[in-house]
Amino acid sequence: MTTSGPHLAELPLERPRGCPFDPPAELGPLRDEHPLVRMTFPGGHEGWLATGHAIVREVAADSRFSARQELLHSPLPGPAAMVVPPPAPPGLFIKMDDPEHGRYRKLLTGKFTVRRMRLLAERVEQVTAEFLDAMEKQGTTADLVTAFAQPIPALMICELLGVPYEDHEFFRRNVLPLNMPDASLEEQNAAMNALGEYLYKLVVAKRAEPTDDILGDLAATELTEEELTGIAFLLLGAGLDTTANMLGLGTFALLQHPEQLALLREDPERIDGAIEELLRYLAITHTGARTALEDVEIGGRLVKAGEVVAISVLAANRDPLKFPEPDRLDIGRKTAGHLSFGHGVHQCLGQQLARVQMKVAFTGLLARFPALRLAVPAEEVPMRSDSDIYGVYSLPVAWD
């Protein structure tokens, strides 16, 4: 076991200007030499950065590493990195460990199964067709983000949870700062409080008058109103911004790789493989973190109790030891084992929902607009470089 080695002064974050889909240039060589490396966190704490696929998987699967937020130092710079966060509010189980985490998750797993999500496909098709109709009517150009990528997942998660879609602008406005490390603590707290108050009122109403949706079902259990609010907050936050960014950034990536797009257009059956490859290649939830609860020997290094390990999903998904020619977007490749939905007990609960939405939405978009193209030079597309969830802020597209 080695105790010395290189030391990173910060987590490299900037994706290259020329190819905004690739990891920061430093990350590849670093991962290949030192898949687990010492790093100073923005608040000055010493910890680690895991970039190798095997190590990232190990950390995510090992219950000696905790997801509890009060133990975490943020690996991303910004005001939140300077403070120790409070324990997660009740119900926010993504920031909890088992058995507490499992108690909440168990109540939800049956609601997001492959079978249930496939049954939903018809409704996703209707919703997608409506937004594509509206986009087509508006002329021969559009911002794909506001016309297509955002509204489809927003409407679907609202319907599933039983949250009024009319309020989606309010959710979007308030979810945004929560994923932005640079947002001030005041902004983040105000957003959290506004969403919390809204959702609390909603679950109280559902408890009084049951509704036929996920929150309605949960309101009929013994969960407290605070727990219901935390779960609603997690599901709404996770469902609004993630799939939307995969649709926006995924379309951008396909337009920038015309040979891959042509393969998909030639044989739309390739869609499932294309989606997994886009998930791997783009790694929109690029960074995570865990805290060691005890001393752990891993990858030939000793991570001490209390130290935080930042995880670069982006670097791990591009590890040549796992994926040959990892920097090539190849919709026909074997993608099993990509880490874009996480790994271990916290693996994404909504992944089947996300897959169904992406399949229907990408298929509908490509069929409706055979001549879809960027309406601005690629360098002018505004990237979400300042967010925990990568993507595009807008994607001007045109068709004939």
**317-346 binders of ligand HEM (CB under 6 A):** 340-342, 346
CA quadruple 50, 253, 336, 119: dihedral sign: positive
> Which residue type, as a one-letter code, is found at position 151?
P
Window 258-297: residues binding ligand HEM (CB under 6 A) = 284-285, 288
Q: Return the structure tokens found at 182.
A: 């640079």
Q: How far is the CB of 137 from ligand HEM (least distance, A)?
A: 28
Q: Which residue is nearest to ligand HEM (CB)?
A: 350
Nearest to 160 by CA among 94, 224, 113, 100: 113
Q: Is the dihedral of CA 59, 65, 69, 73 positive or negative?
A: negative
Which residue is it, tokens 């679950």? 203
Query: Smallest gap, in angstroms, from Cβ of residue 285 to ligand HEM?
Result: 4
Interface residue with ligand HEM among 239, 248, 250, 391 (CB under 6 A) is 239
Q: At closest approach, how far in Å is the CB of 305 from ligand HEM?
A: 20
Of 45, 64, 68, 105, the one binding ligand HEM (CB under 6 A) is 105
Shortest Å distance, C-beta 104 to ligand HEM:
8
- Please pick, from the candidates 353, 360, 381, 392, the single residue that binds ligand HEM as defined by CB under 6 A: 353
> Which residues have CB under 8 Å from 255's CB, separation 6+?
261, 372, 373, 374, 397
Stretch of 9-17, 172-180, 217-225, 242-250 contacting ligand HEM, by CB under 6 A: 242-250
Q: How far is the CB of 330 from ligand HEM (least distance, A)?
A: 19
Tokens matching residue 116 = 């249930």
Which residue, 344 or 398, is less far from ligand HEM as judged by CB? 344
The token pair that represents 210 in the structure block: 């049951």
Helix axes 351-368, 121-137, angle to 10 degrees: 40
Report how far residue 114's alpha carbon sits from residue 117's, in angstroms, rounded to the nearest whole number. 5
CB of 354 to ligand HEM, least distance (A): 4
* Sign of the CA dihedral running 184, 339, 119, 136: positive
For ligand HEM, the closer of residues 5 and 87 by Cβ is: 87
Alpha carbons 398 and 223: distance in angstroms, whole number: 48
The answer to whether residue 350 forms part of the interface with ligand HEM (CB under 6 A) is: yes
Question: Are the C-beta atoms of residues 21 and 281 closer than 8 Å to each other?
Answer: yes
State which of positions 61-100 bind ligand HEM (CB under 6 A).
67, 93-94
Judged by beta carbon, residue 65 or residue 209, the one nearer ligand HEM is: 65
Residue 242 lies near ligand HEM (rule: CB under 6 A)? yes
| 362 forms part of the interface with ligand HEM (CB under 6 A) | no
Single out the residue of 11, 56, 234, 397 in contact with ligand HEM (rule: CB under 6 A): 234
CB 346 within 8 A of CB 238: no
CB 270 within 8 A of CB 263: yes
Q: Among residues 142, 144, 147, 246, which is the contact residue for ligand HEM, using CB under 6 A?
A: 246
Looking at the Cβ atoms of 64 and 398, the one nearer to ligand HEM is 64
Closer residue to ligand HEM in complex, CB, 281/341: 341
> Counting contacts by CB under 6 A, is residue 349 touching ligand HEM?
yes
Q: Say if CB 276 and CB 64 are below 8 A apart.
A: no
Binding mask 171-210 for ligand HEM (x = CB under 6 A): ----------------------------------------
Listed in sequence order, the residues at least 6 apart from 126 whose beta carbon sits closer than 8 Å to its beta carbon are none
Measured CA to CA, the distance from residue 114 to residue 230 in angstroms comes to 24
Which amino acid belongs to residue 193? Answer: N
By rule CB under 6 A, what count of residues binds ligand HEM?
A: 23
> How far is the C-alpha of 135 from the C-alpha of 19, rounded, in Å?
28
Q: Does 55 bind ligand HEM (CB under 6 A)?
A: no
> Applying CB under 6 A, which residues contact ligand HEM?
67, 93-94, 105, 234-235, 238-239, 242-243, 246, 284-285, 288, 340-342, 346, 348-350, 353-354
